[in-house]
Structure 1
Amino acid sequence: MTMGVEIERKFLVRGAPPLGGAPGKAIEQGYIAVDPDGTEVRLRRSAGRWRLGVKSGSGLVRTEAEADLAEADFAALWSATANRRVEKVRHAVDVGGHMVEVDVYGGALAGLTIAEVEFSSREEAERFQPPAWFGREVTGDPRYLNRELALRPPVDA
């Protein structure tokens, strides 16, 4: 199991982001439980890996723990996420020495693209200057947390 703190800023992306041929990986994510305090238990399937994750908090700094699952265990739990899922293709793009994850959503969220940038410290996150192709910052907007996107997509998605 991996545990840690995630320091991340999120931005909406309008139009086609400059992916520069960055390959994408398909991700399916489903939520077993979502607590009003911001704690979530999720399943993720991507690139032949099955993972169970627990996140808590919201905004710039959150805690996160993840563990690998066997495919059979994932399959046994997946039905518990019915009606609480997102699908997306994630592209990794270098922006000024920062690895940016560009998520292009599908299904009910088709048309939504979000850029996420992780940092090693709060200070680094605050110094980051987003490029012009980033749109409005949604770091503190709970509507753009994946768990919320799975439950109730925002009107402007």
Structure 2
Amino acid sequence: MGLEIERKFLVDPEKWNAFAKPEGTPYQQGYLVNEKGKTIRVRIAGSKAFITIKGATTGFTRKEYEYEIPLQDGHELLESFALQGTVKTRYRIPVAGKVFEVDEFKGENEGLIVAEIELKSESDLFEKPDFLAEEVTHDPRYYNSNLATSPFSFWKK
């Protein structure tokens, strides 16, 4: 069984802008199914495409199955079947033997920067880089699937 154990944090924009980043990868993703407790997502990440099936989250953990698919299929699935989606640039930042994936959202989610770290267990310890701000692991508004339907720019400030 595939499992994703993930923690999610907002990123301080000033500290992130001052941080020396590697080159990012453009992501485009859309949802074929986007229901409470289950999503089926198609993602184009640079020159690769993936289909991902995710279940409900309990704690920091949920079932996840991800498979690479042909790039052309990914484009066709997004164009023909995706209900909603998001666009972002992802940066992979190594920190003390682990990797934070930092997403700078574009489009209707412009201005939102979120960092995620995948762990081996919910009790895994990790070092937090200086650019991390508030933890939002348990706030469903920050799930990519929810950002596709309720974009950050629509939230009341």
TM-score where L is the length of structure 1: 0.87
1:56 aligns to 2:55 (yes or no): yes
1:91–1:19: structure 2 CA closer, same or farther, 3 Å change rule?
farther
Greater Cα shift, 73-82 or 27-36: 73-82
Deviating more after overlay: 73-82 vs 131-140: 73-82
1:91 Cα shift?
0.5
- Tell me which residue corresponds to 1:40: 39
- CA–CA separation in structure 2 for the residues paired with 1:132 and 1:71: 36
In terms of mean alpha carbon deviation, does 143-152 or 15-24 score higher? 15-24
Shift of 1:128: 3.1
The residue type paired with residue 120 of structure 1 is: K
Give the superposition deviation at 1:129. 4.7
Q: Cα offset for 1:20? A: 2.1
User: Could you tell me whether the CA contact under 8 Å between 1:85 and 1:150 is conserved in 2?
Assistant: yes
Other structure's SS at 2:22 match? coil
Match of 2:2, SS state, is strand
**Alpha-carbon separation, structure 2, partners of 1:146 and 1:15:** 19
Q: Evaluate the alpha carbon distance shift between residue 41 and residue 68 of structure 1 in structure 2; reply closer, same or farther with a 3 A threshold.
A: same
State the distance in 2 between where 1:148 and 1:24 align: 23
Indicate conservation of the 8 Å contact 1:33/1:42, yes or no. Answer: yes
**What amino acid is aligned across from residue 102 of structure 1 in structure 2?**
V
- The aligned amino acid for 1:54 is I
Structure 1 unaligned blocks of 5 or more: none
Q: 1:122 to 1:14 in 2, by over 3 A?
A: same
Measured in 2, the distance between the counterparts of 1:110 and 1:57 equals 26
More divergent stretch after superposition (102-111 vs 130-139): 130-139
Using the alignment, how far apart are the partners of 1:142 and 1:120 within structure 2? 22
Q: Is the 8 A contact 2:44 2:71 kept in 1?
A: no
CA distance in 1, matches of 2:126, 2:102: 16
RMSD: 1.9
Moved more, 54-63 or 65-74: 65-74
**One-letter amino acid matched to 1:140:** H
Q: Percent identity?
A: 34
What secondary structure is seen at the aligned counterpart in 2 of 1:55? strand
Give 3-state SS (helix, strand or coil) of 1:130's partner.
coil
